[in-house]
């Protein structure tokens, strides 16, 4: 009987410890409350087909990955890397961005379509880029050897 109580107590203690770990990291803590985050954007594009118009004229052969935090007030942060574009070197991407929200993509490049036609227009090193506002995962493969992925999270 005593060993059964000890076993239950051990299982209960372990379960509480595991639950405590999960409660310690809230969604806001994951990317900071100081900037009043509105959304997180993850964008990746891979072009492995030099005959594709997108690879030869827009992205370049290689890939790019960026994470963008859009904060209240039209500012935000960006971090990522690009490989093989231009001179073929790997380049780190890190810094600040500005953004605004608008209906439609006018004036900004962007290949992924938002079902509500609302976009974050993010100004960064590669110029203004339109990202969907609607939370979700977007997968676009416009040509063989070309893959574009966008993830919008709250």
Of 40, 58, 32, nearest to 137 by C-alpha is 40
Reply yes or no on whether the pLDDT at 19 is more than 60.
no
pLDDT at residue number 10: 38
Taking the domains of the chain in order of start, what are their residue ranges? 35-153
Q: Which has the higher per-residue pLDDT, 83 or 129?
A: 129
Categorize the per-residue pLDDT at 23 as very low, low, confident or very high, splitting at 50, 70 and 90.
Answer: very low
Q: How far apart are CA 153 and CA 52, in angstroms?
A: 30
Reply yes or no on whether the pLDDT at 24 is more than 80.
no
CA angle 73, 107, 89 (to 5 degrees): 85
Q: How far apart are CA 49 and CA 27, in angstroms?
A: 38
Q: How far apart are CA 24 and CA 15, in angstroms?
A: 15
Q: What is 101-142 written as a DSSP string?
A: EEES-TTSB--SPPTT-EEEEEEETTEEEEEE-S-EEEEEEE
- The mean per-residue pLDDT over the stretch 53-57 comes to 67
Of 116, 119, 78, 84, nearest to 97 by C-alpha is 78
pLDDT in tens, 87-126: 566 888 999 999 999 999 988 888 889 999 999 999 988 7
Q: How far apart are CA 136 and CA 39, in angstroms?
A: 11
Residue 38: half-sphere exposure toward Cβ, Cα within 13 Å: 18
pLDDT in tens, 58-81: 666 788 899 999 999 999 999 999
């Amino acid at each position: 009987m005593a060993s059964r109580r000890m076993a239950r107590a051990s299982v209960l203690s372990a379960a509480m410890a595991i639950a405590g770990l999960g409660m310690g990291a809230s969604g806001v803590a994951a990317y900071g409350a100081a900037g009043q985050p509105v959304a997180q954007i993850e964008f990746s594009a891979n072009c492995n087909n030099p005959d594709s118009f997108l690879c030869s004229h827009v992205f370049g052969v290689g890939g790019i990955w960026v994470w963008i935090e859009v904060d209240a007030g039209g500012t935000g942060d960006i971090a990522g890397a690009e490989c093989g574009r231009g001179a073929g070197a790997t380049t780190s991407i890190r810094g600040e961005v500005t953004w605004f929200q608008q209906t439609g993509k006018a004036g900004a490049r962007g290949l992924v379509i938002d079902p509500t036609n609302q976009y974050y227009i993010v100004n960064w090193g590669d110029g203004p880029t339109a990202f969907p506002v609607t939370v979700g995962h977007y997968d676009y493969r416009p040509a063989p050897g070309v893959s574009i992925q966008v993830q919008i999270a709250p």
